[in-house]
Structure 1
Amino acid sequence: MFYSKLEVQETKNSSLALFCLERVSLIHCGGRCLAQHCCKEFMYHKGSMRCFGIQFEDFDSTGNTKLIRTGNEGLSTYRKGCETGWLEFNGHCYHKGQTKGNWSEAKVECRKMCSYLIEIESKEEAEWISATFLENVNCPAVKRVDCTAWTGLNDLDIEGTYVWEHSKAPLTFSNWHPRDPSVDNPNMALTRDCIDILREGLWNDRQCSHLNWVICEKSF
């Protein structure tokens, strides 16, 4: 099921529309939204057959969005679920990329899809991500080399103060590996500002230039 109809339309003064179509069917409108990573939901008016594709509020990667008023009576809103190639967990969608990149490259790759590097809020989420994306029969014995993926957690701004890159939220839950973040070598910690998740779901601090798998997340 790709869409769910919202029973009560959220009260907003305006929204960013990726596209506005005239005289199209409900199915055509939904297909257009489904084909675009940055389309969160669409609004449709049965009478006029008008279609609005609504952009994620915290992303405007296209540069072509238009501000529309959403208070029009008769508009029904349909919220998109996880797209093909994305998996759902607790209302969030996750996608693992096919290639590795450094932390900055990984962040850009996710942003292209109107998503962000994973922000882990619970042990259950950490273990699900590990089991879903990092438990691989081809994974070598050295887990810290090839069985890891970037998270959005970092202390790039203030050493030792960890924040999530997208939400800017401080760290409230942690799942560190017993010897991390570099507790045995504080000097090494100065060069390890980006955090990845290991195969078993534990966290490790890493140099941001390291090439790592990319897991992106979207929240609906």
Structure 2
Amino acid sequence: MLQRTSCFLVFLLSAVNGQQQRQILYSRLVDEVTDYSLAELYGADEHFSHCAELCFEDDYCMEFLYSETSRDCIGRHYVRKRNYSYKKVIPPSTRMLHFKRELNWIMHSGHLYYYGGKEHKLKWRKAKLLCKKLGAHLVEIESKEESDWLASEFIMRDDCSPDMYETCTAWIGGHDRSTEGHYMWVHSNTSLEFTNWNPSESSFGNWSDCIDILRNGKWNDRHCWFLNSFICERNSVHI
């Protein structure tokens, strides 16, 4: 299990509509890293804060290691980066500082949930990949209680538009891309035992193959290329 000892903040300036400060939280870990198969050497003689920034700018980087002596900076990925050829990374020391990027995970009934895409919405497949990068998966909903909780916790906001389908929705892990009308959970590859369709849903035969959750906790199927928020899920104990 990952053991944390402390947290620190890194402040970055991003030039989006002018300079804007961004805040990133990292936790210090005390476990020793032995697996460098999905590691990327960012460089040597790097300043510590720049090492943290390099990890943040790499969408696949969830952890980084830093040597105070050689100033080597190594990023660790949770999933293989597409079109990238990993080279063998040999750490200069087993006593490198080890940090993990922290996100706003919320615990409920033994699971952790992360709401993403509030500012940058994604297509369903992109959302699925991002959850995987975080060591998680698009949420798989097992009960009405869970569906209602997700809607009230993440989706219902004061700025929702009157149109139920236009805003305040989020991708979940259900789809029928393989067989029309046969809905599956993409992570567990199992059929949906529980469903919570909005009235008049689901829609068959119109290429609406991916499921999102609405502000009322009900489900809707829509085109997978729709730019949407999303909810990731993982177990509360993360190895």
- The answer, yes or no, to whether TM exceeds 0.5 is yes
CA displacement, residues 171-201 of structure 1 (integer Å, 9 cap, x when unaligned): 577451375764xxxxx43444221101022
In the TM superposition, residue 43 of structure 1 has moved relative to its aligned partner by: 1.5
Amino acid at match of 2:159: N
Q: What percentage of aligned pairs have identical amino acids?
A: 23
Q: Look up the match of 1:193.
A: 209
CA RMSD of aligned residues (A): 3.8
Q: Secondary structure at the match of 1:78?
A: strand
The Cα shift of 1:89 comes to 2.0
1:23 partner amino acid: D
Summarize the Cα distance change of 1:214–1:8 in structure 2 as closer, same or farther, 3 Å threshold: same
* Deviation for aligned residue 1:26: 3.2
Three-state SS of the structure 2 residue aligned to 1:28 is: helix
1:148 aligns with 2:169: yes
Asked if structure 2 preserves the Cα contact closer than 8 Å seen for 1:118 and 1:151, the reply is yes
d(CA) in 1 for partners of 2:175, 2:91: 37
What amino acid is the match of 1:194? C
Q: Which residue of 2 aligns with 1:29?
A: 51
Alignment check: 8 A CA contact 1:15 1:69 kept: no
Aligned to 1:185: none
After TM superposition, the structure 1 = structure 2 runs for residues 37-76 of structure 1, keeping only pairs within 5 Å, are 37-57=59-79, 59-61=80-82, 63=84, 65-69=86-90, 73-76=94-97
TM-score, normalised on structure 1? 0.68
Q: CA deviation at 1:41?
A: 0.2
Distance apart, 1:42 and its partner CA: 0.6
Inter-partner Cα distance in structure 1 for 2:48 and 2:193: 42
Rounded Cα–Cα distance in structure 2 between residues aligned with 1:26 and 1:208: 43
User: Partner letter of residue 160 of structure 2?
Assistant: C
Amino acid at match of 2:106: F
Give the aligned partner of residue 79 of structure 1. 100
Q: Does 1:108 align with 2:131?
A: no
Cα drift, residue 50 of structure 1: 1.6
Q: Over residues 29-73 of structure 1, what are the superposed CA-to-partner deviations in whole Å (9 max), with x where a residue is unaligned?
A: 22321233221101223332221011222x414626434256952
- Aligned partner of 2:229 in structure 1 is 214
Equivalent of residue 118 in structure 1, options 138, 156, 162 = 138
Structure with the larger helix share: 1
Q: Equivalent residue for 1:138?
A: 159
User: Unpaired runs of 5+ in structure 1?
Assistant: 183-187
- For each residue in 1:126-151, what CA deviation from the matched residue of structure 2 results, as whole angstroms up to 9, or x when unmatched? 44542354323332444244442332
Residue 89 of structure 2 is aligned to residue 89 of structure 1: no
Q: Give the alignment's TM-score, normalised by structure 2.
A: 0.64
Output aligned runs, 1:166-205, within 5 Å.
167=187, 169-171=189-191, 174-177=194-197, 179=199, 182=202, 188-191=203-206, 192-204=208-220
Maintained 8 Å contact 1:149/1:212:
no
Quick one: distance in 2 between partners of 1:37 and 1:67? Answer: 20
Give the Cα–Cα distance (whole angstroms) in 1 for the partners of residues 154 and 211 of structure 2: 17
Q: Distance in 2 between matches of 1:100 and 1:75?
A: 36
Equivalent residues of 1:96, 1:133 under 8 A apart: no
Task: Report if the CA contact (8 A) 1:110-1:216 is conserved.
Answer: no
